[in-house]
Structure 1
Amino acid sequence: MNKVGTAYLLWLGCLLQVHGLHRLYNGKILTGLLWMFSFGLFGFGQIIDLLLIPNMVDQHNSKLRARQGLLPEGALPNQAVIQRVVATHPTPLPPTSNPLLVQLLRAAETRGGKLSVTQGVMETGASFAHVEATLIQMVKAGYADITNDPETGVVTYEFKEL
C-alpha cells in the first residue's frame, strides 16, 4: 500500500526538476508523464497536487485492495461476502482425521484464534489453494468467520472457540 508521506517526498522531486513522480507512484502514468514533460503543468499542477495527494493515495490503495480481492480499509466483511465465498467452494468439511485441518487449527491457536492463508501455508507446507479451500470449508461449516485485519487488510479466518 502506498503512503501519503512517500508521495509528498516524491512531490519534492520538483525541486530537482523531476516533476510528476508522485503521480507515477500512485499509478497515474499518463498524467505523471505529462507532468514530467510540462514541468508539472508549468508549476500550477504541481502546486495543486499538494492538496490532491492524500486523495490520490487513497484511490490508488483502494484499487490495489480491489485487485487483490480485499475489502476496503476499515470495512468489515458482511454476510454477502461470506455467502459468495461459501458458494464458490461447496465442498464438505473434511473428516477430523485430516492432518491439514488439525495443523491449521493448531496454527490458529498459537496466533490467538486468527489465521491467514499465508500463515497457514507457512505452518503446514501445503499449497495456497489447499489451505484456502480447507479454511473456507471451515467457514461454511460454521467453525470460523472471515474478517480483515484492520491494519493490513489481510483476509483472516477467526476461530471463536480458540
Structure 2
Amino acid sequence: MNKLAISYLLWAIGFIIPIHGLHRFYNGKVGTGTLWLCTFGLFGIAQLLDVLVIPSMVEEHNAKIKAKLGVSSNGVPLYSSISTVSYNITPTTQEQFRVKLLKAAATRGGKLSVTQGVMATGASFQEVENVLNQMLKSGYVGIGNDPETGIVLYDFYEL
C-alpha cells in the first residue's frame, strides 16, 4: 500500500532536484508521470497543483491494489474463497482438478460449461462451479453465454 507521506516526499523532491512526477510514478500514473518528467511538471504549474491531488491519487492507487487482492477498502474480502476442506479437495488434488478442467476445455475449443466440467472430473456441480469462479476471479478464464443456447460458458483465454 502506498503511503501519503512518501508521495509528498517524492513530490517535494521535484523542487529540490528537477525530477518532477516521481509521486505520479509511485501512484501508478505512468503516463502523466512521464509527461511531468519531460515538461518539468507542466512548467511547474501542475507540480504545484498536485499538492492538492496527492491524497486522492494515493487513495485511488490503494483501492486498485485492494480490488486486485479481492479486499474492500475496509479490508473485508470481496469474494468468498472456496474452502478446500469443505469440498474435500486437498491443495494437491485441487491443482489436478484445475488441470482436468483445463484439459476438458481444450477439447472443447477453450470453452467449458459447469455440466461439461462435472462430466470431465466426476466432481459435484458446486465443486466445479466454485473452482471455475475462483479461476474467473484470478483472471484465468472469462465468462459468457453460448449465443444459441444461452448456457453459461467459461472461456479459457489461452486455449
**Given the two structures, how large is their TM-score scaled by the length of structure 1?**
0.49
Tell me what 1:24 maps to: 25
- Contiguous gaps of at least 5 residues in structure 2: 96-159
1:91 to 61, 71, 87: 87
Secondary structure of 1:91 counterpart? coil
Tell me what 1:73 maps to: 73
Q: What do the CA deviations read for 1:6-38 (whole angstroms, capped 9, x no partner)?
A: 000000122211100000000100100100110
Q: Distance in 2 between matches of 1:9 and 1:53?
A: 11
Q: 1:20 to 1:89 in 2, by over 3 A?
A: farther
Shift of 1:93: 8.1
Alignment of 1:6-155 (within 5 A): 6-15=6-15, 16-69=17-70, 71-77=71-77, 81-82=79-80, 85-86=81-82, 91-92=87-88, 129=91
Secondary structure of 1:14 counterpart? helix
Q: Distance in 1 between matches of 2:85 and 2:48?
A: 50
Secondary structure of 1:57 counterpart? helix
Shift of 1:76: 3.5
Give me the identity figure in percent.
Answer: 42
Q: Distance in 1 between matches of 2:64 and 2:42?
A: 26
Q: 1:88 to 1:18 in 2, by over 3 A?
A: same
State the superposition RMSD in angstroms.
2.9
- Which 4+ residue blocks in structure 1 deviate beyond 6 angstroms? 87-90
Q: 1:52 to 1:88 in 2, by over 3 A?
A: farther
How many positions carry a matched residue from both structures?
93
